[in-house]
Amino acid sequence: MAVTSAGILPFARDDSGLWVFIVHMGGPFWTRKDAASWSLAKGLYDAAEETPEDAARREFTEETGAPVPPGELIDLGEVRLSSGKQVRGFAVETSRELAFVSSNSFEVEWPPRSGIVKTYPEVDKAEWCLLSEARKRLVKGQVPLLDALERLVG
């Protein structure tokens, strides 16, 4: 059975174009990376216990510390990452006033095989960026979700 994840991609439009709100993955592996190290705010869920929409809403709040913007969720479909994980994306239109507050955390042994366990935020920052910039920053497997957003809302 595939590992499933769901998340929300807030977006806004203005004269400059289509903007998206993406998060930078936390933890030591991603610290000094920018290209292909961002994501939509997302996380794992069990389909037997939770719908993808409910999981996406929960994960957005956990990872950004902000409430999910009001409005109808637009289903962007599902992508399969190179790891085999399936990610279901939803978009919601909002204002660019949405901002990162804080993230939940996780523990990991770092450096590897050191026996030292450290705590890191799942997300260390979030930013609004134009769709063209987001294509460079998002992990490659999630870029098709940007394509779907562009097709659905222009």
Domain tally, the chain: 1
In sequence order, which residues have a C-beta less than 8 Å from that of residue 153 and are 6 or more positions away?
11, 13, 18, 74, 91, 93
What integer pLDDT is reported at residue 2 of this predicted model?
80
Say if residues 79 and 145 touch (Cβ distance below 8 Å).
Answer: yes
**Tens-binned pLDDT, residue by residue, of the chain (154 aa):** 689 999 999 999 999 999 999 999 999 989 899 999 999 999 999 999 999 999 999 999 999 999 999 999 999 999 999 889 999 999 999 999 999 999 999 999 999 999 999 999 999 999 999 999 999 999 999 999 999 999 999 8
Residue 116 belongs to domain spanning = 4-153
Q: Exposure pattern of 28-42 as b/e (b: 16+ CB <10 Å)?
A: eebeeeeeeebbbbb
Handedness of CA 94, 99, 103, 109 (dihedral sign): positive
CATH number for the domain that contains residue 98: 3.90.79.10
Integer angstrom CA distances of residue 67 from 47, 51, 86, 96, 115: 22, 18, 24, 14, 36
What pLDDT does residue 1 have?
65
CA atoms of 73 and 88, how far apart (whole Å):
12
Position 17 scores a pLDDT of 96
* Distances from the Cα of 6 to the Cα of 3, 24, 34, 154, angstroms: 11, 16, 22, 22
User: What is the model's pTM?
Assistant: 0.94
